[in-house]
Amino acid sequence: MISMNSYLNTYVDRRMQAVVDEWELSTRADLADLVRRLDALEQEIPRCTAFEKSAGDRLTALEARAKKLKGRT
């Protein structure tokens, strides 16, 4: 007779990918390049900050122009 541990081990072995997908578990492959992916994200932060500032400045300038145009009509 198969013991409960043996049965569960066999089941998990057969269904491991489904378990990983269902529980959204990280795999070794996912974690292998984690540091590289985090470094890439950290390098994007200054660019995003600069874009946010320039977009804010441009929006402020456009709002000022819109107010001027409203005043002319």
Residue type, 32: A
Residues 6+ apart with CB under 8 A from 25: 19
CB 47 within 8 A of CB 53: no
Helix ranges (DSSP H) in the chain: 4-23, 28-32, 34-72
Mean pLDDT over all residues of the chain? Answer: 90
Q: Going residue by residue through the chain (73 aa), what tens digit of pLDDT does each one get?
A: 578 889 889 988 899 889 888 988 888 888 888 989 999 999 999 999 999 999 999 999 999 999 999 987 5
**Is the overall model pTM greater than 0.85, yes or no?**
no
CB 12 within 8 A of CB 19: yes
Q: Tell me: the pLDDT tens digits for 33-46? A: 898 999 999 999 99
Task: Check residue 73 and give its pLDDT.
Answer: 59
